[in-house]
Amino acid sequence: MEVQSLHLLTNIVQRIFVSIFSTIASFLLVALSHIRLYKPPPQHSDHHVIILDGSSMSLIRVPINVVIVFIKNKIPIIPYSDSAHRAHTALCMVCLEHIDGSHSIRELLSCDHVFHLECLDAWIDVGRVACPLCRSMLLPPKKLLSYSNSI
């Protein structure tokens, strides 16, 4: 009789442990799913630019936000009157307005096209990293590679 009641007690204790464990487990699952749910959506996370590295002839993936920041830091802002490409065009092909000598522009490294600073920056901000006219990369690949390696 005593053995039987002891067995019953063990059984109850076991059940309590199982229910506590499953409660903890379900709390953990809820917590985990919340962590995943509340993670802020990463910006431009799946948007990369594939760049050919000229020195090693290999393709590298650079996150678009890194490229945007780098382009803006590296392409010099000058007044149009100081531009070496001043003779080529006086029309911004983004807004189709004239570019005045006093307007700020970015002096592109890859081609001799000229756009208003605000027009080109708005273009870059939406993840376009090539010249609006000729589609040449706004930065030489080698510079991008050395930047991505230094992070």
Q: What backbone torsions phi and psi does residue 49 show, to the nearest 5 degrees?
A: -110, 130
131 or 144: whose CB is closer to Zn ion? 131
53 or 112: whose CB is closer to Zn ion? 112
Residue 91 contacts by C-beta under 8 Å, 6 or more apart in sequence? 97, 98, 99
Q: Smallest distance, Å, CB 59 to Zn ion?
A: 23
The token pair at 104 is: 């700020």
Q: Smallest distance, Å, CB 145 to Zn ion?
A: 21
Binding site for Zn ion (CB under 5 A): 92, 94-95, 111, 113, 116, 119, 131, 133-134
29 or 133: whose CB is closer to Zn ion? 133
Q: Smallest distance, Å, CB 84 to Zn ion?
A: 14
Are the C-beta atoms of 109 and 140 separated by less than 8 Å?
yes
What is the CB neighbour count within 10 angstroms for residue 142? 14
| Radius of gyration for the alpha carbons in the chain, expressed in angstroms and rounded | 30
Q: Smallest distance, Å, CB 130 to Zn ion?
A: 8
24 or 76: whose CB is closer to Zn ion? 76
Residue 123 contacts by C-beta under 8 Å, 6 or more apart in sequence? 94, 115, 132
